[in-house]
Amino acid sequence: MNFGIELVPNEPVLKVCYYAKKAEEIGADFVWITDHFNNRDAYVTLTSVSMSTNNIKIGVGVTNPYTRHITNTASALLTLNEISGGRAVLGVGPGDTVTFESVGLSRNKPLSAVRDTVHSARMLFSGRQVSYSGSHINFSNIRLPYGPGEIPIYIGAQGPKMLEMAGEIGDGVLINGSHPLDFDFAVSQIKKGTENASRQFDEVDIGAYTCFSIDPDYEKAANAAIPVVAFIVSGAPDSVLEKHNISANESEIISNMIKEGRFSELKDVVTEKMIDRFSITGDPESCEKRIYDLIDSGVTQIVAGSPLGANKEKSFNYIQSIIKNLKD
């Protein structure tokens, strides 16, 4: 059982490094740094994190195939792997539609784009001279001489086809989910993918990439979770919304509010049901219970994602106790 911490570089890099070191000290196995243009650069941040930690695995969670060419991504990961002593992990997913729209990009053929990224990344990590011709990625006679690197690749997935593909070709899968309902379905799709590829199911690390907000005071924890839950609901596939009895209209209202920058009003439209279905939120006892429910559903890595809690410093103390219980 692995435990990861997501850190968003929307704070000074040195502060992110402080929290990464703290994650290592409390027994976490992974630190995942998010990759969005409107935060500090993920790879610069990961470099600093690698110099501030010793053992914890460090990954981009997750990058996408559209804003950066795979040769640049592979080069960054191999460099990170070198300076961290082999601790780099690549997380790749189809990206955030709302963010793409704001920079004039379209999410074209996400399934084939992610597949191309995974296959071509592995080729580039080999250190050999390689060429690749796919529907999204093309390059010829490229060699990254600072390979080879054994870098695990995790696929960010929610929809059925992406989950199935993650089972076929991923070392792990990061599922933006916090409720057992999501994993009853997701695990079956991943298993289908491993069977298609004649792989063992336990070869794939199944990560619950959660919105996590822990505090003895539920209201404080919930208020901290609202902005993150709003982004999740606004970007969730229709199949996920339907599963949790949330209408496309509710999702659209939230999406429009985010686009218009009306963040202070989100508390009026993000419901308690949305918080329950799309986050792990509450006091330490209830958060730990949800984690065990997820493990029973087939999850093998819990990623405690943003916001962590109303008070991040105190949240680490609560999480430390949960990690200790999980590993005892």
The pLDDT of residue 238 is 87
State pTM to two decimals.
0.94
Q: What confidence tens digit (pLDDT) does each residue in 87-98 have?
A: 999 999 998 776
Q: What confidence tens digit (pLDDT) does each residue in 167-185 have?
A: 999 999 999 899 999 998 8
**Domains recognised in the chain with CATH numbers:** 2-218+284-327 (3.20.20.30)
Least trusted range by pLDDT, from 110-124, 169-183, 235-249: 235-249
Q: Which residue has the higher pLDDT, 105 or 18?
A: 18
Does residue 7 have a pLDDT over 90? yes
pLDDT, the chain, mean = 95
Contact between 170 and 119 (Cβ < 8 Å): no
Q: What confidence tens digit (pLDDT) does each residue in 269-284 have?
A: 999 999 999 999 999 9
The pLDDT of residue 233 is 94
Q: What is the mean pLDDT of residues 304-318?
A: 97
Burial class, 205, CB count within 10 angstroms (exposed 0-12 / middle 13-18 / buried 19+): buried
Q: What is the mean pLDDT of residues 244-271?
A: 95
Angle at 113 between CA 111 and CA 117, to 5 degrees: 120
Contact between 1 and 301 (Cβ < 8 Å): yes
Q: What is the mean pLDDT of residues 47-62?
A: 97
Nearest Cα neighbor of 228 from 60, 15, 4, 34 is 34
- Structure tokens of 85? 């002593």
First to last CA, the chain: 11
Q: What is the mean pLDDT of residues 231-242?
A: 87
The pLDDT of residue 98 is 65
Residue with tokens 């069977």: 195
Determine the residue type at 255. S
Does residue 3 have a pLDDT over 80? yes
Q: How far is 174 from 94, CA to CA, in rounded Å?
A: 12
